[in-house]
Amino acid sequence: MSVLSSFAFSPFSPFSLPSLFPFFARLVEHLAELLQPVFHASSAAAAIVLFTALVRLLVHPLARAAARGQKAQAVLRPRIAELRRKHRKNPARLRRALVELHAQEKVSPLSGCLPNLLQMPAFFLLYHLFSSTTIAGEANGLLGHRLFAAPLGGHWADALADGGLFGAAGVVYLGLFAVVAVVAAFSFLRVRRAAADADPGLGGGEPLRGLAALGGKVAPFLSFGTLVTVAVVPLAAALYVVTSTAWTAVERAVLLR
């Protein structure tokens, strides 16, 4: 099952909350009307960027808590390494010891996931709104909005079919891909440095093993997955993803400095 299909049936998915669609559509339309004097035909796209910023502001306290948790994890690394050496032949005892250590220090290894989890409803609301021709039985007026020449309800495949890679709509996507690539490269370097700090083996000490080592090698490349998301979702949802990803990169760089 794909990531999108698995979330589509999750309790966080807007497909289980159809009553929110008309309200959310009106919210986007009202924001677009407020921004229209400045952004003109791209006012709805600007409204989505503004909405994304508002969502990120709402979850910012959780992001700060996650950053504090990550810093606390860094402090615990020597003790975690010692536990790994002590219980390297007893994985079950090692797991219990790690759980006890995190509970004792009041550090949750999963705290960094909460900001991303709480954003999923907003992403899927946008995904649904700009994938539906009707909202509450009426024509979906949001589909008439554009980001420059690209329809907010369109996909990269549509842009390629209508003008090609360097057509009017295609250039819009190339711009988004360029932004994502810059943000992904920045995140790659930051996560790579963090992974090197977390794995003493990269600095000549005892390396992490198993899933921990695999996670350290894979994590730096995850930021480039946003390129795939932008290519396959409606442009409105892609704008949300790009804005949120850029916000995350800057936010974490500031909070973890």
Mean pLDDT for 102-113 is 70
Residue 225 has pLDDT above 70, yes or no: yes
Tokens 């010891």 appear where? Answer: 97
Q: How confident is the model at residue 94 (pLDDT cuts 50, 70, 90)?
A: confident
The pLDDT value given to residue 166: 96
The pLDDT value given to residue 195: 61
Greater confidence, 209 or 152?
152
Dump pLDDT digits (tens) for 145-191. 999 999 999 999 999 999 999 999 999 999 999 999 999 999 888 87
Residue 106 has pLDDT above 60, yes or no: yes
The pLDDT value given to residue 83: 87
75 Cβ contact list (under 8 Å, min separation 6): none
DSSP tag of 151:
E
Q: Fill in the amino acid letter for 211.
A: L
Cβ atoms < 10 Å from Cβ of 140: 17
Portion of the chain with pLDDT greater than 90, in percent: 42
Buried/exposed code over 185-202 (b: 16+ C-beta within 10 A; e: otherwise): eebbebbbebbeebbbee
**How many helical (H) and strand (E) elements, i.e. helices and strands, does the chain have?**
10, 4
Q: How confident is the model at residue 199 (pLDDT cuts 50, 70, 90)?
A: low
Q: How confident is the model at residue 2 (pLDDT cuts 50, 70, 90)?
A: very low
Residue 64 has pLDDT above 70, yes or no: yes
Helix H or strand E encompassing 125? helix 114-129
The pLDDT value given to residue 116: 76
Are 246 and 226 spatial neighbours (Cβ–Cβ below 8 Å)?
no
Written as six digits, the tokens of 52 are 């994304």
Mean pLDDT for 104-126 is 77
Q: How confident is the model at residue 235 (pLDDT cuts 50, 70, 90)?
A: very high
Q: What dihedral do alpha carbons 157, 161, 166, 172 form, nearest 10°? A: -50
Q: Fill in the amino acid letter for 186.
A: F
Greater confidence, 67 or 222?
67
Q: How confident is the model at residue 14 (pLDDT cuts 50, 70, 90)?
A: very low
Cβ atoms < 10 Å from Cβ of 183: 20
Greater confidence, 232 or 9?
232
The pLDDT value given to residue 48: 96
Helix H or strand E encompassing 150? strand 150-151
